Amino acid sequence: MEFLDVIRRTLRVLRKVELEFVIVGGVAVIIEGEPRTTRDVDVIVEAPSSDLKTLLQTFAEENFEVLPNSVETLRRQSRVTILDQKSSLTVDVKRANTKIDHLALANKRIYSYQDLEIPIPSPELILLGKLTYLGDITNEKRALLLKISDVTDFIAVFNRNKQELDRNWLKHEAKQRGLLHSYKRLLRLAKEADPDNYR
């Protein structure tokens, strides 16, 4: 399976270079939420500038195509897309440079998925990442929201983990970002999606 092969080779690269990393995005949602399609593997990595060249060279050794100037792009913009030579999938590598990035790295958990051991953030941090990316959605129409993958991802992860979530922490973080109303809107959508489990 192409998707698993890309994850496997990505994990091999990151463990070989011995950098702190966490897998986020669609892969994390599949593990903590529900199955869905994704065309990339999203990685947050704690990488000083001196390690960037080695990191990208190691990706190239694992049958990934690293575009010219990728080292400089990753250094300046903190993000770069790496192409898989064996499929149409990509790996998006992001250097940790925000509070959420560092929290994700500090609070990662190792999950068994298929035959792989994958570090992903806690469910709370997956949800906070989705909320932060979505921003202010208080005036968006419900029908439109339900077509946005980050909204459906939030709903899936929240409903699967709702009994164990630290909701006070999530509410606090949402308020700190000026997104409390958006957070409450997402909670209503989550409840609507699974009403039997909210009785």
* 6, 17, 45, 144, 184 from 104: Cα distances, Å: 21, 19, 10, 29, 22
Residues 114 and 140 in one domain: no
Distance CA(135)–CA(155), nearest Å, equals 16
For residue 156 the two structure tokens come to 């899936």
Residues 67 and 104 in one domain: yes
Q: Do 115 and 18 reside in the same domain of the chain?
A: yes
pLDDT of residue 199: 60
Can you read off the two tokens belonging to residue 83?
């192409």
Residues 134 and 192 in one domain: yes
Report the pLDDT value the prediction gives residue 37, as an integer from 0 to 100.
86
For position 34, what pLDDT does the model report? 86
Low-confidence ranges of the chain (pLDDT < 70): 198-199
Position 198 scores a pLDDT of 67
> How high is the pLDDT of residue 6?
96
pLDDT of res. 1: 78
Q: Say what the pLDDT of residue 35 is.
A: 84
Asked which of 89, 120, 151 is the last residue of a domain, the reply is 120
Find the domain containing 168 and state its range: 123-198
CATH number at residue 72: 3.30.460.40
What was the pLDDT predicted at 196? 75
Q: Considering 120, 150, 167, which residue would you say is the last residue of a domain?
A: 120
Neighbour-count burial for 31-69, b at 16+ CB within 10 Å, e otherwise = bbbeeeeeebbbbbbbbeeeebeebbebbeebebebeee
The alpha carbons of the chain give a radius of gyration, in whole angstroms, of: 17
Cα(164)–Cα(167) distance, rounded to whole angstroms? 9
Number of domains into which the chain is organized: 2
Kindly state whether residues 180 and 192 are assigned to the same domain. yes
For residue 7, which of 109, 123, 87 has the smallest C-alpha distance? 87
Same domain for 103 and 23, yes or no, is yes
How far is Cα 101 from Cα 45, in angstroms, rounded to an integer? Answer: 9
- Global confidence as pTM: 0.91
